[in-house]
Amino acid sequence: MKKVIQKMSLVVFLLSTTLISACTQSLGAVESTQTASIAAQGPVDAKEIEAFADPLFAEKMKEYNVAGSSFVVVRDGKVIVNKGYGFADKEKKIPVDKDTVFQIGSVTKTFTALAAMQQVDAGKIDLHRNIEEYLGGLKIPNKTGKPVTMYDLLTYTPGFELPDETTFTGPQYIGQDISMDEFLPKHMPTIIRPPGEAYTYDNTGFLLAGYAVEKASGIPFAQYMDEKVFKPLGMASTSVRLKPELMKRMAANYDLNGEHRPLEGHAPTDGPQGSIISTAEDMAKYMIMQLQNGKFDGKEIVSQKSLDLMHTHQIFADDIPITTVGFENYFPEYANGQHVVLKGGNMPGHSSLMVLIPEHKTGFFMSYNNDSMVSADIYKEFMDHYFPETEKKAEPVYMPLSEADAQKYFGLYQNTRAYWTRTSITYENGSLVLEGEATGKQKLRMIRPLLFVDEAGEKVAFKEDKNGNVKYFYYTAMNGLSLVAHSQKMEMEKTYSDVPNTSSYKTHINNLSALSIMGAKSGSKFDPTGTMTQGEFADALIKAEGHYVMAGSEDGLRQQLAAGIPNLNPSTPITRQVAAAMIQNLKQLEPVATSKVTLQDTADAWAKDAITALVSQGIVDPDTKVNADGSFTFRAKDLLKRQEASALLDLAFGYYSLPIKR
C-alpha cells in the first residue's frame, strides 16, 4: 500500500510540475505578448522602456567603451523615463543622473535656429533677405553674386568654401571672453557656391545666424538665450557659457580609449554653432516644447508656423530628405518609414543625440562622455523596437545603363566639407563604379536617371546644374560616415600651355589643379620644371592633407610636418629629401614589408627612412625608377620641381590619380 501511495504521489508531483511549467510558459507567453504589444504602441510605459533600455545601454556602453550616459524619453507632453547609466566620473565613481551636465555640441544649432525663428516671428529678420542686413555692417566675401539668407544658413546651404573655419575649440578658451564682434571679422570664410545649391554641414552658417539674432534683438547672444529660451522653458541647468555652478556637475571628458581628456571651450565664447551645456532634465523640457507646436506651460516659445519649418524637410537630394530649418536626417534608413528629425552633437569627449518623431509626439535625448557613435546604435534599436518597419520594402527595379549614358556621371568628386575626401566615378558592365578611400569600391545600379543604389542598398543621388551637367552627388553611406555634405565634380581638363599632353605628370598636375592645391604659376603656365620654396610646398601639403584651420590646428600641423628637419626656412628652395620628410611627417607610413627598396644615392640621415617609406608605398614621381631588385636613385639633394611636387602630393594624398574614363 505504501508503494502505491508513493507512486500516486510521484504521479501527482509530475502532473503538478508539468501543469506549473505549462502555466509558467503560458504566463510568459502572455507577458511577452503584452510587452510586444506595449512596444508596438511606442514608448508609453516606464517599466517596459527600462526593460528595453537597461540591457541595451549596458551592452552598447561596454562595446563602445562609454563611461556614462544619460537617457530621457518624452511622450505626449510627459517625461516617461529619465535616468543615467554608468559614471559621470569613473575615477571618482560619480554616477550619471538626470542632473549631470554635458556639452551638447551641435545640438546647440537647433536652439540657434529656434532663436532665429523667434526673431522672424517678431518681424525683425526676414528669412529670405540678404543676411548682411542683420549683421551690423559685417560683410561676407561672396564670389557667386547671390546673397546668402538666414534660410540658407539654417538649412546648411550657404556655400562657404571652408564651413568649419570658424570652429575653434580647446582648453585655452576656458575662462576667456571672446566676443563674436571681435572674432568674426578675422575668421570669415568665402562663399564659393551659390547659396541654396548644395548641402554642406556648416558651423559658420550657424555662428552667423546667432550673430544675426544678437544684432537684430540688441541683446548679447548668451543673455538672449537665457531670457528668451532657457528661462521660459524652466531650463535652469542650461547655458551657452561654461558657468562655474554648472561645471561642478559636468561629466568628465574621455577619449575612445577611456583616458581622461581636458575640457575644451569655444572661440568665440558664445558659440551659436555648438557651445550649449545642458542636462537630460532640461532637454526633456525642450523636446516637450518642440513636440507641442512651440508651446510650454501655456506659453508660446515660437510660432507653430516657424516650428513647422523646423520639422519639415527643406533640402533634398532627389527623394532623400537631408535637412529642415535646424535639424538633419542622417541615417535615414533607421527611421523605418517614420517622419524623424534629429540632431547630433560632439565636443571632444562628449557626444549627444536628440531624436524627435513629431507625428507620435515622441522624442528621446542622450548625452555620453566619449566621441563614439554609440548613439547611432541606440537610435536604430529604439526605432526597431518602438516603430518597426511595417511594410517590407519592394526590391527596386533597376534600369539598364549604357556606357554612353553613363558618361555624364564620370569624374573626380570632392566632398564640399571634408574636402580631402575624393571619389572617382567610372563605369563597368552596366553599372557606375564609385571608388574612394572613405567608401572603398562600390557598384551602383540605376533606379532612374540621377538616382542609384549601391550593393548595400545605400542611395547615391546626383544633381545637375542648369545646363543639365552633373555637378554633385550625395551618398547616404558617406553621410553615415559623418561626411555630411554633397560632393562636387572637379573640373579635370585643365590646359596649361607648358604641360604637353604627352607629359607623364599631366594627370597629377590636373588633379592638384582641380582640387585647388597647386595651380598656374603665372597666366596659363604651370611652370612644371620650376622650383618651390619650403613655405610654398608646406602650403600645398596642408591643402593636400585636407586640413582647414580648425581649433587653431594649422600651427600644430606646421610643427608636425617640420619635425626632425634641420634649418627649415619658408623662403629657402625645397629639396626632394625635405619634401619627402615633410610628407612622411604627416602620413606616418610604414614601409611595405613585401616591397624591399634600397636607396642608392646620398641622403641625409634624417631623410632616409622617409624616402624609403614613401617609395615602398609607390609614392614616387614618374622620373624616379625603381629597379627590379628594389634599388633606386632618389636625387635626394636636388631641388624639387613643381611637376615632381604634384606627383608626390597626388599619390600621397589624392585619390590614387585614377584615370577618368570619358
Encode 288-326 in three state secondary structure. HHHHCCCEECCEECCCHHHHHHHHCCCEEECCEEEECCC
Q: Mapping DSSP to helix (H, G, I), strand (E, B) and coil, where does residue 566 land?
A: coil
Angle 521-526-532 from CA coordinates, rounded to 5°: 60
Tell me the C-alpha distance between 551 and 92, whole Å: 30
- What region does 58 belong to: left with phi over 0, alpha with psi -120 to 50, or beta? alpha
Dihedral of alpha carbons 322, 323, 329, 330, sign = positive
pLDDT in the model for residue 34: 47
Q: Which among 619, 617, 625, 624 has a CA at the least distance from the CA of 595?
A: 617
DSSP 639: B
Q: Mapping DSSP to helix (H, G, I), strand (E, B) and coil, where does residue 107 land?
A: helix
Tell me the C-alpha distance between 646 and 649, whole Å: 5
Q: Kindly report the backbone phi and psi dihedral angles of residue 389, in degrees, each rounded to the nearest multiple of 5, phi listed first.
A: -60, 125
Q: Kindly report the backbone phi and psi dihedral angles of residue 447, in degrees, each rounded to the nearest multiple of 5, phi listed first.
A: -80, -45
pLDDT in the model for residue 390: 85
Tell me the C-alpha distance between 510 and 496, whole Å: 9
Q: Which among 505, 511, 500, 494 has a CA at the least distance from the CA of 620?
A: 505
- What region does 492 belong to: left with phi over 0, alpha with psi -120 to 50, or beta? alpha
Contact status, residue 310 vs residue 326, Cβ threshold 8 Å: yes
Tell me the C-alpha distance between 605 and 307, whole Å: 64
Contact status, residue 648 vs residue 621, Cβ threshold 8 Å: yes
Amino acid type, 286: Y
Residues 6+ apart with CB under 8 A from 548: 162, 164, 165, 419
Angle 95-370-165 from CA coordinates, rounded to 5°: 135
Tell me the C-alpha distance between 352 and 362, whole Å: 17
Q: Kindly report the backbone phi and psi dihedral angles of residue 582, in degrees, each rounded to the nearest multiple of 5, phi listed first.
A: -60, -45
Q: Kindly report the backbone phi and psi dihedral angles of residue 226, in degrees, each rounded to the nearest multiple of 5, phi listed first.
A: -60, -50
Per DSSP bridges, beta strands 598-599 and 631-632 are parallel
Dihedral of alpha carbons 443, 446, 450, 451, sign = negative
Q: Which among 290, 274, 240, 451 has a CA at the least distance from the CA of 350?
A: 274
What is the pTM (predicted TM-score) of this model? 0.83
Quote the cell numbers at residue 550: 580648425
Element of type H or E holding 52: helix 46-63
Which residue in the block uniquely carries the three cell numbers 549604357? 402
Element of type H or E holding 81: strand 78-89
Mean pLDDT by 10 residues, the chain (662 residues): 36 35 42 51 94 98 98 98 98 98 98 98 98 98 97 98 88 95 95 97 97 98 98 98 97 97 96 98 98 97 98 96 95 94 97 98 98 97 96 87 97 86 92 89 97 94 96 87 85 81 92 86 94 95 67 67 94 98 92 82 96 94 95 97 96 56 24
Residues 6+ apart with CB under 8 A from 411: 424, 425, 470, 489, 490, 492, 660
Q: How many CB atoms lie within 10 A of CB 190?
A: 14
Quote the cell numbers at residue 535: 613655405
The number of angstroms, rounded, from the C-alpha of 624 to the middle of its chain's C-alpha atoms is: 39
* 220-224: Cβ within 8 A, 24+ apart: 220/270, 221/115, 221/180, 221/270, 221/272, 222/269, 222/270, 224/115
C-alpha distances (whole Å) from 432 to each of 401, 426, 453, 470, 491 are 8, 6, 10, 14, 19
Sheet strands (E) in 227-379: 253-254, 260-261, 265-267, 277-278, 295-296, 299-300, 315-317, 320-323, 341-347, 350-357, 362-368
pLDDT in the model for residue 91: 96
pLDDT in the model for residue 15: 33
Quote the cell numbers at residue 177: 571672453
Tell me the C-alpha distance between 487 and 463, whole Å: 10
Tell me the C-alpha distance between 507 and 504, whole Å: 7
pLDDT in the model for residue 584: 96
The number of angstroms, rounded, from the C-alpha of 484 to the middle of its chain's C-alpha atoms is: 5
